[in-house]
Amino acid sequence: MRELKRQLQEERKRINAVLERECSLLPPLVRPVAEHILNSGGKRLRPLLTAFMAKVFDCDHADIYDLGAAVELCHMATLLHDDIFDHAATRRGKTSAHAIFGVTPVMLAGDAMLGQAAHLASRQCNGDIVSCFGQAIVHTAQGEVAEFQSLGRIDLPYEEYLEIISGKTAWALRSACEVAAIRSGAEPEAVQAAARFGMELGIAFQIIDDALDIAPEKIIGKPAGGDIREGKSTPLIRFYWESLPSDRAAAFAAKFKERSFEESEVQAAIEAMRKEKLDVRTRRLAAQHLQNALEALKVLPEGPGRDTLVKVSEFICSRNN
Amino acid sequence: MRELKRQLQEERKRINAVLERECSLLPPLVRPVAEHILNSGGKRLRPLLTAFMAKVFDCDHADIYDLGAAVELCHMATLLHDDIFDHAATRRGKTSAHAIFGVTPVMLAGDAMLGQAAHLASRQCNGDIVSCFGQAIVHTAQGEVAEFQSLGRIDLPYEEYLEIISGKTAWALRSACEVAAIRSGAEPEAVQAAARFGMELGIAFQIIDDALDIAPEKIIGKPAGGDIREGKSTPLIRFYWESLPSDRAAAFAAKFKERSFEESEVQAAIEAMRKEKLDVRTRRLAAQHLQNALEALKVLPEGPGRDTLVKVSEFICSRNN
């Protein structure tokens, strides 16, 4: 575990160096926004996956960090745009970019970061890699619109929930892994397995993220219960709703739809979910997708690279913040 | 002239076919927004430049229309995002996308169209082409932020105005021409000349667009005087301001800064600008950049392709709508 943490730290250093370089190359009016989101924390999960997936194939091209950084630039652009339409005041406990710079510069800085990602990804002159990025951006947007349209629907079927998170979250992790396999010159089946691994891990990652909605603010850096307030239908909230007697369930569904909960009601729901350990039940859903991810990994070459990815996956799925 | 119009029409048909295909490939929740902006009119100037520039180099790869469409997808994404922060109610006389679909789906559809453009541009497996697109997106955003920050500054120096429009408008025209030259296998000097042509033409195009701010609504499809109301500093408005006696100039500058003109004041300013033919004076600024553009063209191979580009340029610079 200590060895894994050391490795993660080392890789993050290399990734951050590329991200800082790319942000410094942005023109002066979009750069401060990019630097703000870059310095707002973040685990660099996506570029870490790119770096570790390359190791599975013994690929030691230094430009693998460029690809990881390109994935992260797209991710940061998405975060900037999300915070605008979510009207989020904070991100990871810090003031949101649009609250500092205004909506217009932040929206445009997001666009610029997508452009810079394309520019960065173009260096390998590999059409498959660029196509992979392009598709990830498209599917992330589709997933986010689907989520937006699902707001307030407490009875959202699990399949639709899976479709939403596959788009809004997992596709980016998929692309992070897929580009690494392509750059490593992997065979088509191995590229597919890498993509599947990323997708399944991404789904597990998001389910756990949604389970953490009732974790204490001091641990996750944002007030608990955000999804309840925003009408974001997650398995965690659905489990709670299903546990209510029918009259209370109907009242909950109505308020969920209208996003009209009193703060005391949100707190009561959080307490009840914690007491019933519904987050633990939610995590069991993630476990299945972690299993699928590890299954996909088995197709890839054995060795310390693959072992690390297994550890990273298990680490991600057991995380508490 | 009739022959040119026929050619433009024919090329537009091929371009629109690719754009329709690409929009139909978008996932279902972002597609309607993309189709809305696609069907909101538009001259397809950028992909036309790509198609005609390819003809200069006798390049008959059918995929040149893919590249043109990718430029146009980026342009349409920019329009979607612009209309959001401009709070524009209409675009070319039709209801704005965000007024129909809401801000969130429109912002995300814009992102998806940038992704689809990257995906489309990736087909040639040419890093220089993708890099060109990426840089155009970055510089367009930079120009737009610069414009946003310049709002209300009536005394904006002409050099700063040029920088703004080089970014927000001309860079996209530049990339439209540059990718065609690259795809045609042109020599580096020819690629540079094509890029310079597009850049200078783009500057001329925007100056004329700004001169058209006092054209009648029935001709340009939007109310005259939009730039005055929005505090967008253009040569046209600056000429007017400079023509005012000092007390009225100070009052105008103050209201321009605050964006607090009465509608009657806007109309009076429009009338005065028309009477003084300040739009004609503005167009003379564009003429210099048209000249630079035609100068750059001279480096490129002679022939009917180049002749057409000359005609297209002159057509663009003499347009009245």
Q: Find chain A residues with C-beta within 8 A of B114's C-beta.
A: 111, 114-115, 137
Nearest chain A Cα distance for residue B9, angstroms: 30
Cβ–Cβ below 8 Å for A107 and B81? yes
Contact B145, A109 (CB under 8 A): yes
HEC states along chain B? CHHHHHHHHHHHHHHHHHHHHHHHHCCCCCHHHHHHHHCCCCCCHHHHHHHHHHHHCCCCCCCHHHHHHHHHHHHHHHHHHHHHHCCCCEECCEECHHHHHCHHHHHHHHHHHHHHHHHHHHHHCCHHHHHHHHHHHHHHHHHHHHHHHHCCCCCCCHHHHHHHHHHHHHHHHHHHHHHHHHHCCCCHHHHHHHHHHHHHHHHHHHHHHHHHHHCCHHHHCCCCCHHHHHCCCCHHHHHHHHHCCHHHHHHHHHHHHHCCCCHHHHHHHHHHHHHCCHHHHHHHHHHHHHHHHHHHHCCCCCCHHHHHHHHHHHHHHCCCC
User: What span, in angstroms and rounded, lies between the C-alpha atoms of B80 and B111?
Assistant: 10
Q: Residue A247: which residues within 8 A CB-CB, separation 6 or more?
A: none
Most B CBs within 10 A among A145, A183, A232, hence the mutation to make, goes to A145
Q: Give the nearest chain A residue to B113 (CA atoms).
A: A138
- How many CB pairs lie under 8 A apart between chains A and B? 178
Output the tens digit of pLDDT for each of chain B's 321 residues. Answer: 788 899 999 999 999 999 999 999 999 999 999 999 999 988 999 999 999 999 999 998 989 999 999 999 999 999 999 988 877 777 777 888 988 999 999 999 999 999 999 999 998 889 999 999 999 999 999 999 999 999 999 999 999 999 999 999 999 999 999 999 999 999 999 999 999 999 999 999 999 999 999 999 888 878 899 999 999 999 999 999 999 999 999 999 999 999 999 999 999 999 999 999 999 999 999 999 999 999 999 999 999 999 999 999 999 889 887
Nearest chain B Cα distance for residue A321, angstroms: 28
* Helices A64-85, A2-25: crossing angle, 10 deg rounding: 80
Nearest chain A Cα distance for residue B222, angstroms: 22
Q: Report the candidate in A165, A133, A217, A175 with the shortest Cα–Cα distance to residue A45.
A: A175
What phi and psi, each to the nearest 5 degrees, are found at residue B105?
A: -60, -30
User: What number of H helices and E strands is found in chain A?
Assistant: 17, 2
- Residue type, position B47, single letter: P
User: What span, in angstroms and rounded, lies between the C-alpha atoms of B95 and B86?
Assistant: 14
Q: Find chain A residues with C-beta within 8 A of B27's C-beta.
A: 138-139, 142, 167
- Owner of token pair 């191979």: B301
pLDDT digits (tens, 9 = 90+) for B80-131: 999 888 777 777 778 889 889 999 999 999 999 999 999 999 988 899 999 9
Residue A165 CB-density burial (10 A; 0-12 exposed, 13-18 middle, 19+ buried): buried
Cβ–Cβ below 8 Å for B103 and A85? yes
Q: What angle do CA B102, B119, A20 make, to 5 degrees?
A: 85
DSSP state of A167: I
B242 is written with which tokens?
Answer: 């400079």
pLDDT digits (tens, 9 = 90+) for B157-198: 999 999 999 999 999 999 999 999 999 999 999 999 999 999
- Residue type, position B182, single letter: I
Q: Find chain A residues with C-beta within 8 A of B130's C-beta.
A: 118-119, 121-122, 130
B211 is written with which tokens?
Answer: 């001169």
A185 in helix, strand or coil? coil
A264 is written with which tokens?
Answer: 């005391």
Tell me the whole-structure pTM to 2 decimals.
Answer: 0.94
Contacts for A307-311: CB closer than 8 Å, 24+ residues apart: A308/A4, A308/A7, A308/A52, A308/A55, A309/A49, A309/A52, A309/A53, A309/A56, A309/A197, A311/A4
Residue B162 CB-density burial (10 A; 0-12 exposed, 13-18 middle, 19+ buried): middle
User: What span, in angstroms and rounded, lies between the C-alpha atoms of A75 and B36?
Assistant: 27
Most B CBs within 10 A among A128, A138, A140, hence the mutation to make, goes to A138
pLDDT of res. A76? 97
> Residue A152: how many CB atoms within 10 A of its CB?
17
Q: Find chain B residues with C-beta within 8 A of A167's C-beta.
A: 27
| Closest Cβ–Cβ partner in B104, B127, B134 for A124 | B127
Q: Which residues of chain A have pLDDT under 70?
A: none
Q: Report the candidate in B91, B89, B67 with the shortest Cα–Cα distance to residue B78.
A: B91
| Closest Cβ–Cβ partner in B85, B133, B141 for A118 | B133
pLDDT of res. B86? 79
User: What span, in angstroms and rounded, lies between the C-alpha atoms of A289 and B238?
Assistant: 62
**For A109-133, b where at least 16 C-beta lie within 10 A, e where not — what string?**
bbbbbbbbbbbbbbebebbebbbbb
Q: Find chain B residues with C-beta within 8 A of A121's C-beta.
A: 118, 130, 134
pLDDT of res. B201? 98
CATH number of the domain where residue A226 is located: 1.10.600.10
| Closest Cβ–Cβ partner in B119, B125, B142 for A30 | B142
Most A CBs within 10 A among B24, B26, B29, hence the mutation to make, goes to B29
A234 in helix, strand or coil? coil
Q: Find chain A residues with C-beta within 8 A of B137's C-beta.
A: 111-112, 114-115, 118
B168 is written with which tokens?
Answer: 């927000």
Q: Find chain B residues with C-beta within 8 A of A78's C-beta.
A: 111
Q: Where are the beta strands (DSSP E) in A138-189?
A: none
Cβ–Cβ below 8 Å for A141 and B117? no
pLDDT of res. A220? 83
The separation between CA B98 and the C-alpha centre of its own chain, rounded to angstroms, equals 20
Cβ–Cβ below 8 Å for A30 and B145? yes
Cβ–Cβ below 8 Å for B134 and A117? yes
User: What span, in angstroms and rounded, lies between the C-alpha atoms of B292 and B46?
Assistant: 18
Kindly provide the ipTM of the predicted complex, given to two decimals. Answer: 0.94
**Number of domains composing chain B:** 1
Q: Which helix (H) or strand (E) holds A2?
A: helix A2-25
- Structural domain harbouring B201: 2-317
User: What span, in angstroms and rounded, lies between the C-alpha atoms of A235 and B201?
Assistant: 55
Q: Find chain A residues with C-beta within 8 A of B83's C-beta.
A: none
- Owner of token pair 């937006």: A148
Cβ–Cβ below 8 Å for A26 and B84? no
User: What span, in angstroms and rounded, lies between the C-alpha atoms of A196 and A283?
Assistant: 20
Give CA separation, A73 vs A21, A124, A263, B145, B261, in Å. Answer: 12, 17, 36, 19, 41
Nearest chain B Cα distance for residue A280, angstroms: 32
| Closest Cβ–Cβ partner in A85, A120, A141 for B30 | A141
DSSP state of A303: S
Cβ–Cβ below 8 Å for A149 and B123? no
Q: Find chain A residues with C-beta within 8 A of B134's C-beta.
A: 115-122
B20 is written with which tokens?
Answer: 């329709």
A90 in helix, strand or coil? strand
User: What span, in angstroms and rounded, lies between the C-alpha atoms of B98 and B106?
Assistant: 6
